[in-house]
Amino acid sequence: MKQETDIVENYAKECERDLAEVIPALETAITALDSLNQADIGEIKVYLNPPYLVKKIITTVQILLGDTKPDWASAKVMLADPQFLSRLINIDKDHIPEKVFKRLKEYTSDPDFVPERVKQVANSCKSICQWVLALEHYHDVFKMVKPKQKRVDEAKEALRLAQANLHKKQTSLKKIMDHLALIQNQYQDSVNQRETLKERKKTTALRLERAQFLPMLSPMKRCGGQTWWTSWTLKSLV
């Protein structure tokens, strides 16, 4: 059982290591987002006809937030939301549909879709670009780890059931052993009692046998109203 437990635990640690490699980048991107303020967002929102890269960055955000028909008009509404940055920071990264990332890839595959290049166009979009790429990378790793994690969960459940079954059998075995020990103790007590009774019976029979000789014995002398027996007579009764 220990070997099976070690295998499951090692597999689980492997999954954790895979995710741990991408979490820091995502956390860094979230920290960068957190450093933005409404003034930064306002710089983006004022564009009537945004630069190519700015529009592309904001479009990817709309896609990630579930907008099926992103355009600049709806983008400005999104940017005007006081909770805009909070929505990005708290996005449910583990449950974004695969089709969203397939669509996202059409934009992120652009060689210019990198923070340093975006910074040259609009500094406030750099952090958003970084966040989009980190989220995409996290998803790629999570997609690879998810089946592993599922197998780990299944293995853990199977192991839990096996351990529960083993514990149940061990408990039953202990009850059997305890009952057997009780029976053995009772049997030994019975044997001891029989031996004691046998000794008592033997002693009693011997005394009765010797008592038969008393009427045949004669006192040798009397002294002060007491009867005295000869030494050989007394020895025969011992």
Q: How far does the chain reach from its first CA to its final CA, in angstroms?
A: 69
Q: What is the pLDDT of residue 21?
A: 76
**Exposure string for 130-156, b = 16+ CB within 10 A, e = fewer:** bbbbbbbbbbebbeebeeebeebeebe
| Model confidence pLDDT, tens digit, residues 68-107 | 889 999 999 999 999 999 999 999 988 999 999 999 999 9
Taking each helix axis as running N to C, give the angle between helix 98-108 and helix 123-211, from 0 to 180 degrees, rounded to the nearest 10.
Answer: 140
Round to whole Å and give the CA distance between 196 and 194: 5
Q: What is the pLDDT of residue 13?
A: 74
| Model confidence pLDDT, tens digit, residues 147-196 | 666 666 776 777 777 777 777 777 877 877 777 677 777 768 777 887 88
Total residue count of the chain as it appears in this document = 238
- Report how many domains make up the chain: 1
Q: What is the pLDDT of residue 106?
A: 94
Q: Is 212 inside a domain boundary?
A: no
Q: Is 131 inside a domain boundary?
A: yes
Residue scoring higher pLDDT (168 or 219) = 168
Q: What is the pLDDT of residue 235?
A: 47
Q: Which one of 20-29, 47-56, 141-150 scores highest in mean pLDDT?
A: 47-56
- In SS3 terms, the chain reads as CHHHHHHHHHHHHHHHHHHHHHHHHHHHHHHHHHCCCHHHHHHHHCCCCCCHHHHHHHHHHHHHCCCCCCCHHHHHHHHHCCCHHHHHHCCCHHHCCHHHHHHHHHHHCCCCCCHHHHHHHCHHHHHHHHHHHHHHHHHHHHHHHHHHHHHHHHHHHHHHHHHHHHHHHHHHHHHHHHHHHHHHHHHHHHHHHHHHHHHHHHHHHHHHHHHCCHHHCCCCEEECCEEECCHHHHHHHC
Q: What is the pLDDT of residue 237?
A: 47
Q: Is 205 inside a domain boundary?
A: no
Global confidence as pTM: 0.59
Q: Is 237 inside a domain boundary?
A: no
Q: Is 229 inside a domain boundary?
A: no
pLDDT surpassing 90 at residue 58: yes
Q: What is the pLDDT of residue 216?
A: 56
Q: Is 86 inside a domain boundary?
A: yes
| Tokens at 233, concatenated | 């007579």
- Spatial CB neighbours of 83, under 8 Å, sequence gap ≥ 6: none
Residue 123 sits in a domain whose CATH number is 1.20.920.60
For residue 132, which of 221, 201, 32 has the smallest C-alpha distance? 32
Q: What is the pLDDT of residue 3?
A: 66
**Pairing state between β 226-228 and 221-223:** antiparallel
In the chain, the percentage of residues whose pLDDT exceeds 90 is 34
Q: Is 83 inside a domain boundary?
A: yes
Give the residue numbers spanning the domain of 145: 1-160
Q: What is the pLDDT of residue 133?
A: 93
Q: What is the pLDDT of residue 198?
A: 78
Q: Is 193 inside a domain boundary?
A: no
